Structure 1
């Protein structure tokens, strides 16, 4: 019995070893033959199975448990599929697939066209590329995704649209923004009203020939946005959720600490005495003595050190030995700490679609919540969309599209040119000796209110900069909030006659309203002294568009097609 048990255990261990030996860890990189650059998002599939992965931002991939005899199928849109044997450190070079490239269709001003037949300056971004980019606005999709387009988001406030320039600056005083066209109709709203998850493709028309249909409105280029439609033969429902965090992308400049600042200010003060009052301070020694004696009392007004005002510097403007910042001040000199936070982003989308010979439909609802890395900068958006297309007769097509959005934006003064309200300018320019909160000047300890809480320092008690202003305090008390509602409806009818002619009539209704509410507290800042200040501004817009178009499309054979 014991011998049989041993034999059974040996067989089990040998079998386990054989099973382990039959799989391997496959790693590799996929690059393009054209430019020798990594291919991002290439599909890696074990042939004959549903097991696979995609390449990362560096073109690399990992398959942890691939069979030793596995064959990998490597594919990417516009490139020829390759099959390679599974092994460690695979290097796959993908070549362009001219035939596949010829079959790619791009939305253009008058309909769709094969990429190979286009002669104008046109760039296109498909749904697969869009889905990989968790952006809040369609303008963010274009950033780095299409050549010849400048996308600039200087501030990065949640919900803010980027500035897009297709042909540079064409006007000094006029608008340089491109024309947006949504599902074939000129779009006059904000691009942030559209949920990027509802976009099927974006086409950028960059030259005059491509944008000629839109006249002078297209002088700065045209961006065509096509929303999704039903595709599958059965009802399909998808849910996706994205979570992420925001942080400041570029670190703050290295700034002077309190010691360097005090010694530098001493030099500046001494030099001003020599140049502005030479009669009173004819020698360097006399100016040095005056600067050491009165720099704090006459100019800086605040002393955060453990030495008296007139005993902090030696005769050469250096801090005396043993001079140190009082402990109570050390953790209260960083103004950025009270302005910034770790931002958070969460997005949830539910969409579904179906299609048949008689028509198709697509619906979606979405929710986005962004909290910026600057406190009080937030953005919320609710969106909904329904696209319905019907073909009741072979010669008749009709459709209806409805979409709506509700946005709430909390703004800061990050774009203001006034240094006393712009949080970045204020925190950068305030001297590193002025604390955020009130302190006892003798001990450096915090001065607490009756509830035991720290109190902000408005500068009136001893500060020679931004007196009566406090960017952190104002950011907490003041409000700048915008509510925005949008409703967009489109309907179209296509009538096909004489086989090659299509008459299209299309109508669009765009209703938008926004309400901006601002409040300045009576405690500090712009509202101080007049019992506070409040303002409410309401905007309402309503746009109608009617469009008729007659198209002739003649296909002679598989090689020749005429459009007019």
Structure 2
């Protein structure tokens, strides 16, 4: 019995010594984001073969593991990134993790900081910076359209760079504003969202209900939109900058609907006059030819323009004072025979006098172009986080003489003075210029309306009535047609006014944030923030001296300045 016990003890000690003497390997590596090659902190690195062995990456994204020699694979994971299993192919590994959009959506910005979505009671929606960057828009407010559930985004103006109207809780008042409260980098913001380049935005959170907006009181009655700008774009220990550009074009989204063309317009208008005459009891004894002749004359007298070439027949009065169509050139009291008494075009017509000058729609609109250029980056160390960016946006509008230019400079810095003390600043400078045709207010005077409703027989410029040649001024320029003889919008030419009258707005904006964070004990953070926002704007509206009721011309100017200082 004693021999058996001694043998069992000897075998147990032998196995333990053999296990203790088994070789180990040391695996080192770094975990980076596949998108920007930034270190991921913290990331969990765990052995698949020995699940009880693992570690976390340090502030530089590096890790060291001591594993038994038989270890073959590692599992790497981090919040906001897709988990990945990698093979141990050497003693130094470089592991790249992909972003996980579903995981990112689990952490959102709230009024008091950040919170996991699964533990958040209030109604909210969030949009990441990656989602914003994928949408080529000039105003970050438009990015909320279709991206945040329950948020209504409408644009009342097609002017490039114009602000969108956002409604989170519908319309709460007839007289008061229904716009939400904007908070940028922790401070209330009263400026324009278009002053912030979307490439500088890290994420946007929309807080919808009372529980989510309790911090801001009655001012948040229409909901809150929290915008956080980027704070870290550098690689550890070395500066890193990236240049990006996006190009786009704007055209009509739907094809133009079918409209009556130049060769049919006179015939349709003749039918209108003929029907009016035919069903008038006073004309019941007149023949179709007589009524057709009267309708042809009334059509020309109503429209007053002849865009057709080749006509050699005119309506003249005969000895009985009745108009008859006969050959011969123009004469006093004669009307061009554009239409036959049957309502058909005169077969003498062989074309148009100025067919290339009748398309008001294509003269008023053009293919818009949008170009955006961004240089961004920064430097990151154990104590410093920085983000610097230069952004230039140039948008050429779909409508002639409309456009929007924006210049952005942003510098976000954060420095750990002590492990428990952090000082940071966020500064943004913006200069914008918006221009477009002067709004005339009335529907009939609106260029978009005019270009769609003007008859296709009226030219944009003045032409010789016999040859169709352009009439030029003393400088050799074409003269725009705003003749008093044109029955539709006399003395008005929407193309000419788009070039002569002008509406220009200039705007300079400064957005500054400074914060001091103190962590006296673990789990407690005290923050002091000062926010300073200033805007200077100037708008000019020019009325020309050629048309309208200002023979000397008129220039209207308005200047505005606003300053907001906030302590929290």
TM range (shorter): 0.7 to 0.9
Aligned residues: 455
SS across alignment from 1:466: coil
Task: Give the whole-Å Cα distance in 2 for the aligned partners of 1:416 and 1:164.
Answer: 26
| Counterpart in the other structure of 1:127 | 129
**What 5-or-longer segments of structure 2 have no aligned partner?**
1-33, 36-77, 87-98, 315-334
Deviations 1:337-376 (A, max 9, x none): 2222222222221122222332312111111111112111
User: Is the CA contact 1:305–1:324 (under 8 Å) kept in the aligned structure 2?
Assistant: yes
Displacement of 1:187 in angstroms is: 0.8
- Equivalent residue for 1:531, pick from 552, 556, 562: 552
**1:350 matches 2:375:** yes
User: Is the CA contact 1:420–1:469 (under 8 Å) kept in the aligned structure 2?
Assistant: no
User: Is the CA contact 2:80–2:104 (under 8 Å) kept in the aligned structure 1?
Assistant: no
| Counterpart in the other structure of 1:359 | 384
Larger radius of gyration: 2
| Counterpart in the other structure of 1:473 | 496
User: Is the CA contact 1:292–1:310 (under 8 Å) kept in the aligned structure 2?
Assistant: no
Displacement of 1:281 in angstroms is: 8.0
User: Is the CA contact 2:444–2:450 (under 8 Å) kept in the aligned structure 1?
Assistant: yes
Tell which has more relative contact order, 1 or 2 (C-alpha 8 A, sep 6+).
2
- Equivalent residue for 2:255, pick from 251, 254, 263: 251
Task: Give the whole-Å Cα distance in 1 for the aligned partners of 2:483 and 2:80.
Answer: 62
User: Is the CA contact 1:515–1:537 (under 8 Å) kept in the aligned structure 2?
Assistant: yes
| Counterpart in the other structure of 1:118 | 120
Displacement of 1:545 in angstroms is: 1.3
Structure 1 residues 256 and 124: alpha-carbon distance in aligned structure 2, compared to 1, 3 A threshold: same
User: Is the CA contact 1:483–1:515 (under 8 Å) kept in the aligned structure 2?
Assistant: yes
User: Is the CA contact 2:121–2:211 (under 8 Å) kept in the aligned structure 1?
Assistant: no
Displacement of 1:192 in angstroms is: 0.6
SS across alignment from 1:347: strand
Task: Give the whole-Å Cα distance in 2 for the aligned partners of 1:385 and 1:373.
Answer: 29
User: Is the CA contact 2:437–2:497 (under 8 Å) kept in the aligned structure 1?
Assistant: no
- Equivalent residue for 1:459, pick from 483, 502, 509: 483
Displacement of 1:295 in angstroms is: 2.1
- Equivalent residue for 1:391, pick from 387, 411, 416: 416
Correspondence 1:192-341 to 2 at 5 A: 192-230=194-232, 232-234=235-237, 235-272=239-276, 279=282, 285=288, 287-296=291-300, 298-306=301-309, 307=311, 308=314, 309=335, 311-323=337-349, 325-326=351-352, 328-341=353-366
User: TM-score, normalised on structure 2?
Assistant: 0.74
**1:167 matches 2:175:** no
Task: Give the whole-Å Cα distance in 1 for the aligned partners of 2:536 and 2:524.
Answer: 40
User: Is the CA contact 1:101–1:115 (under 8 Å) kept in the aligned structure 2?
Assistant: no
| Counterpart in the other structure of 1:105 | 107
User: Is the CA contact 2:504–2:541 (under 8 Å) kept in the aligned structure 1?
Assistant: yes
User: Is the CA contact 1:380–1:408 (under 8 Å) kept in the aligned structure 2?
Assistant: yes
Displacement of 1:97 in angstroms is: 8.3
SS across alignment from 1:318: coil
Which has the larger displacement, 217-226 or 152-161?
A: 152-161
SS across alignment from 1:331: helix
- Equivalent residue for 2:462, pick from 438, 451, 457: 438
Task: Give the whole-Å Cα distance in 1 for the aligned partners of 2:422 and 2:472.
Answer: 73
Deviations 1:204-245 (A, max 9, x none): 112222222222222222111000112532322111122332
Displacement of 1:251 in angstroms is: 3.1
SS across alignment from 2:357: coil
Task: Give the whole-Å Cα distance in 2 for the aligned partners of 1:107 and 1:136.
Answer: 23
| Counterpart in the other structure of 1:376 | 401
Task: Give the whole-Å Cα distance in 2 for the aligned partners of 1:412 and 1:152.
Answer: 22
| Counterpart in the other structure of 1:39 | none
Deviations 1:114-173 (A, max 9, x none): 122223222111122222223221113223322222222344321112222223333333
SS across alignment from 1:501: coil
Correspondence 1:58-73 to 2 at 5 A: none
Displacement of 1:417 in angstroms is: 4.5
Structure 1 residues 356 and 521: alpha-carbon distance in aligned structure 2, compared to 1, 3 A threshold: same
- Equivalent residue for 1:405, pick from 430, 445, 455: 430
Task: Give the whole-Å Cα distance in 2 for the aligned partners of 1:97 and 1:371.
Answer: 36
| Counterpart in the other structure of 2:530 | 507
Displacement of 1:81 in angstroms is: 6.5
Which has the larger displacement, 334-343 or 148-157?
A: 148-157
Displacement of 1:107 in angstroms is: 0.8
SS across alignment from 1:299: helix
Task: Give the whole-Å Cα distance in 1 for the aligned partners of 2:144 and 2:424.
Answer: 28
SS across alignment from 1:130: helix
Structure 1 residues 312 and 489: alpha-carbon distance in aligned structure 2, compared to 1, 3 A threshold: same
Deviations 1:304-334 (A, max 9, x none): 12444452223343334344542x3211110
Displacement of 1:274 in angstroms is: 6.7
Deviations 1:68-114 (A, max 9, x none): xxxxxxx996767799xxxxxxxxxxxx989x738942111110011
SS across alignment from 1:259: helix
